[in-house]
A and B are shown apart, each in its own frame.
Chain A
Amino acid sequence: MKTLLKKTLLGTSIALASLGMQVQAADTIKIAMAGPVSGPVAQYGDMQFIGAQMAIEQINAQGGVNGKQLEGVIYDDACEPKQAVQVANKIVNDGIKFVVGHLCSSSTQPASDIYEDEGILMITAASTSPDITNRGYELIFRTIGLDDRQGPVAGRYIVEQIKPKRVAVIHDKQQYGEGIARAVKATVEEAGISVVMFEGVTAGDKDFSALIAKMQKEDVDFVYYGGYHPELGSILRQSKELGFNAGFMGPEGVGNPDISAIAGEASEGLLVTLPPSFDLDPKNAQLVEAFKAKGQDPSGPFVMPAYTAVELMVQGMKGTEGTDPLDVADYLRNQGPFETPIGTVEYDAKGDLKEFNFVVYTWHADGTKTPAATQEAAN
């Protein structure tokens, strides 16, 4: 009985080992794309998937990397932390060494623990929480800006261009919104402008009349909102109805045409910090055409960063002439700058982009945007 058991175990382990070898020996390099396929934020997941998929196809068409073809594998985490851990374990299990993802910061964070541990290179194209790269990990990178860099850009614009007297900073009590709001508050206060209100609202709430009345009472003349478009849209709409005429500003989460549908006229003049529209960059014209030929929309904020994530991995593999994630990570960190669709990128020690610009736009009631006026331009 005992020997039988031993034999079976031995047999299975050999079978498993050979299975593992197969993955290694195959002529493709697998890249995992982890993000929400299902769930409420699936539309953002799509942006990431089409970007990464396009990069993989184009690189394969040019002959692949080091004589090998790339293969993209999609993993669905539904943007739930517990499913993200599961996905990460599956990726380890499938012997994949490169991951583009995850999307939501709260998924990226627990998953990145596992990747770092297992020697898997992860580049997120969408998670903006500073915590992700604050932990001294070697294998975790991103191709998008951080909340605490977007905040100061907005804050400086407020301080230098608007010069308000009494500012209210409102946020939606979520990781993204509150993070940016805190950064804005810090920047504004540093310049000596008083933030008279710092308050959270409940995401999904619809009635903000009490909050607006409070801002009116406090004589607030400028409002920064950290969060997403549905809540800010409602705030703008109700502000107009209640005769509250302050200036408003928000991060890229509010920069969505839907905000004009909610707020109508009230969205005219809203200031929004956005990453530059990479799809309008003339250098990317060819790439944009390729997306359009496939019937895909290249204008989503995470499409080009996801493309860039794959592109960077490939540059790293080419540069190190191998597929060791640690070497590639080293290469990315030390051998820069790299030319990518999101511009020239260089990494700092933490794995963040040394430069990722946010641009301030003015939003219009018809859902379009134009670069915001600065005083230098006016002079």
Chain B
Amino acid sequence: MQPSFMPAAIAAGVTFILGASVMGIRLQPAGISLEVTSAPTHVYLGLIAASLFVFILQYFRLTERFSRLLKSSQESKVELPAFLRTQQQQRLWTMLAIGALLLFPVIGSRGWIDLATLTLIYVMLGLGLNIVVGLAGLLDLGYVGFYAVGAYAYALLNTYFGFGFWEALPIAGALAALFGFLLGFPVLRLRGDYLAIVTLGFGEIIRILLNNWTEITGGPNGISQIPKPTLFGLEFNRRAAEDALGTFHEFFGIKYSPEYKVIFLYLLALILVLITVYVIRRLIRMPIGRAWEALREDEIACRSLGLNPTMIKLSAFTLGASFAGFAGAFFAARQGFINPESFTFIESAIILAIVVLGGMGSQLGVILAAVAMTILPELAREFNEYRMLLFGLIMVLMMIWRPQGLLPMKRPHMELKRG
């Protein structure tokens, strides 16, 4: 393949025009009229550099070479490292990882523990959405709606009926599942891309209703003073509420420290995530899990094998929603305050980006992706500005180069030797 000059030059030119037209010239309100100013020189230098980069990329057809390279690497099997080959070894390492996570609060500082708690919420959401998107192949763009249902379920049950976290948690999950069931029932016979848009619409409807229903949900003011979870009735506050059993530090006769509350929340999140991982792991190996994947791969084949696609999809949708409900209730408890702002489409997009990056279907991949997505902005705050930009870019690039994700799921399988 010989280098080609003209297409490359055109590509570079287009890049420059596209960039310069919106980045090179800035709209600047001046009093009541509008003016344009030229961007600083470094923006132009950056644009020229970008154009040159595109030129080189096109001239030597690097993108094609790169994707071919990726394609060939995909075909060659990715072997697990030596220490993870056998089941015992895997079990051992899992145990070690869990142990390390349990011990983390001892060494981690409060800020990091709290960040880890937030990460765990995203892990839970990612795992839940992974059932729907990754395993069953249904694109759900309104997942945040179920998250909101869970959060509001706990907040409202607490405000109006005085439910504690532990009583509300199963109800929140069940309610979210019920919503998933009711919404999923009519829409799941739709084709994939229509389904995506309809779920997006549902997510928005749920948020707008929560925002408009001021009498019950507090509307945009949200609900505040949602209590933290208790340990068998023991509170983690400095002073116990009147009807409570007592406080944690009094019961154990230790000095009060607000750290306990943060650590307890972290451990709780960890346990919820472990349960989620365990349940989903089991589900994947059950007939229902296999049916999800079979359906994702070939719906017609599934039908001819006598599987009921609607029921299978509905089960994935409902289960996925219930995990969002649990995560939502926990989120409300961690925040102590929720309002509809926390449940916008952007949140759905972030969770989707986690699932996509992690490799659709792979649990380990989703966990690692959630960790990367929440910790990265923390390590470099400047990155925060570019976070959503990169999320978008990652989604595109992953779909082009590695639609199966960084760590695609592997099924135990046998292959016949060819030739």
Contacts and interface: CB of A to CB of B under 8 A. Distances in A.
A and B touch in the complex (CB under 8 A): yes
Interface of A: 9, 12-13, 16, 37-39, 76, 78, 80-82, 85-86, 89-90, 92-94, 106, 109-110, 113, 117-118, 129, 131, 135, 173-175, 178-179, 200, 202, 257-258, 260-261, 264, 365-367
A178 B214 contact: yes
A367 B32 contact: yes
A81 B340 CA distance: 11
A173 B335 CA distance: 22
B4 interface: no
B225 interface: yes
Contacts of B336: 85, 110, 113
Interface stretch (B189-197, B216-224, B365-373): B216-224
11 contacts: A9-B107, A81-B338, A81-B342, A82-B331, A86-B114, A106-B337, A117-B238, A131-B224, A173-B212, A178-B220, A258-B29
A52 to B, nearest CB: 18
B384 interface: yes
Contacts of B385: 38
Given A92-B258, A174-B220, A179-B221, A113 B337 contact: yes
Contacts of A118: 258
Nearest to A367: B32
Contacts of A89: 110-111, 113-114, 262
A76 B384 contact: yes
Given A81-B337, A89-B262, 4 more contacts: A81-B341, A106-B222, A109-B224, A257-B29
A85 B339 contact: no
The 9 A-B pairs with the shortest beta carbon distances in the complex, nearest first, are: A89-B114, A90-B111, A93-B111, A110-B337, A93-B110, A260-B32, A38-B384, A175-B220, A261-B32
B77 interface: no
A129 to B, nearest CB: 7
B244 to A, nearest CB: 16
A367 B32 CA distance: 6
B109 interface: yes
Given A85-B334, A173-B212, A175-B221, A257 B32 contact: yes
Nearest to B338: A81
Given A93-B109, A109-B224, A200-B212, A261 B115 contact: no
A261 B29 contact: yes
B158 interface: no
A107 to B, nearest CB: 9
Interface in B240-285: 258, 261-262
B381 interface: yes
A378 B214 CA distance: 42
A94 B110 CA distance: 9
Contacts of A365: 32
Contacts of B342: 80-82
A81 B155 CA distance: 16
B174 to A, nearest CB: 24
A92 B109 CA distance: 10
Nearest to A108: B337
Contact of A94 (B111, B115, B262): B111
Contact of A106 (B110, B114, B212, B339): B339
Contact of B339 (A16, A37, A38, A175): A175
B34 interface: yes
Interface residues of B, number: 42
Given A173-B212, A173-B220, A200-B212, A264 B114 contact: no
Contacts of A38: 381, 384-385
A78 B335 contact: no
B15 interface: no
Contacts of A39: 384
A78 B384 contact: yes
Contacts of B237: 117
Nearest to A88: B114
A109 B335 CA distance: 10
Contacts of A16: 109
Interface in B76-134: 106-107, 109-115, 118
A264 B32 CA distance: 8
For B29, B211, B337, the residue with the greatest tally of chain A CB atoms inside 10 Å of its CB is B337
Given A93-B110, A365-B32, A366-B31, A81 B335 contact: yes
Contacts of A261: 29, 31-34
A175 B110 CA distance: 30
Contacts of B114: 85-86, 89-90
Chain A CB within 10 Å — which of B34, B118, B222, B237 has the most?
Answer: B222
Contacts of A264: 32
Interface string B7-34: 0000000000000000000000101111
Nearest to B337: A110
A118 B260 CA distance: 12
Given A110-B336, A113-B337, A86 B34 contact: no
A37 B219 contact: no
Contact of A129 (B106, B221, B341, B381): B221
B31 A367 contact: yes
Contacts of A37: 381, 384
Contacts of B225: 113, 135
A110 to B, nearest CB: 4
Contact of A85 (B208, B211, B335): B335
B125 to A, nearest CB: 12
A366 B32 CA distance: 6
B224 A135 contact: yes
Contacts of B337: 81, 106, 109-110, 113
A1 to B, nearest CB: 13
A89 to B, nearest CB: 4
A89 B29 CA distance: 38
A367 B384 CA distance: 34
A81 B113 CA distance: 18
Nearest to B224: A109
Most B CB contacts (10 A, CB to CB) among A39, A86, A200, A366 go to A86
A93 to B, nearest CB: 4
Nearest to A119: B258
Contacts of A80: 341-342
A86 B118 contact: yes
B76 to A, nearest CB: 41
Nearest to B384: A38
Contacts of B113: 89
Contacts of B341: 80-81, 106
Contacts of B331: 82
Nearest to A75: B381
A186 B178 CA distance: 39
Nearest to A365: B32
Contacts of A129: 221
A92 B113 CA distance: 12
Contacts of A175: 220-222, 339
